[in-house]
Amino acid sequence: MPDESQAVVQDRAKALHGLSYVVDPPNLAQPVLRPVLDYWQGKCAGRKLPGRRDIDPLELKAYLSHLFLIDVLPSAEFRYRLVGSEITERYGRNSTGRTVREIYAALPLIAEWLTDMMSAVTQLARPVLASGPLTAIGKEHVVSDSLHLPLADEAGSVTQIFGATRYRPRGRS
């Protein structure tokens, strides 16, 4: 489990084709991601975290195709509840209703990396920016940047992860 350092890049990321993540990403300016972070921060309304009831994806209509919502399940498992059309198109599949381990059953290292990254979101209750090429689906020339934002229940426990993904050609920021 990572600590709260600025850049949490796991050693095995190299074995996972450049996948990395950053807790509390500094100077986030990427298109799509910055407006979603601003929206989430606005929904905190003086609290540490917003809840699911505070988030209305339709308020982010311009970014709807890039949005996702993930349920936090027991035993460090994560299920995709909402997956935007841009994400579905890029991956060539609709992962709605499926868990990380189901989606990446044939790629257990990637499933483990995703689980670790999402566990960082839930345990630290902080934004996490995940980046890496789409090597798992044979699209090494495309990089995914995904912002994962915690949503809490009434007791303050993170029960869902809300966020957005943008895509860019490898080598461009």
The pLDDT value recorded for residue 8 is 38
CATH of domain 11-169: 3.30.450.20
Is residue 149 over pLDDT 50? yes
pLDDT score of 23: 95
pLDDT at 73 over 70: yes
Cα(142)–Cα(71) distance, integer angstroms: 26
Predicted confidence at residue 18, as pLDDT, reads: 82
Name the pTM for this structure.
0.88
Kindly tell me if the per-residue pLDDT of 13 is higher than 90.
no
What average pLDDT score do residues 2-27 get?
Answer: 61
pLDDT in tens, 119-143: 999 999 999 999 999 887 888 889 9
- Taking only Cα atoms into account, the Rg of the chain, rounded to an integer number of angstroms, comes to 15
Range 38-65 average pLDDT: 94
Average pLDDT, the chain: 88
For the cut 90, the answer to whether the pLDDT of residue 7 exceeds it is no
The residue extents of the domains of the chain are 11-169
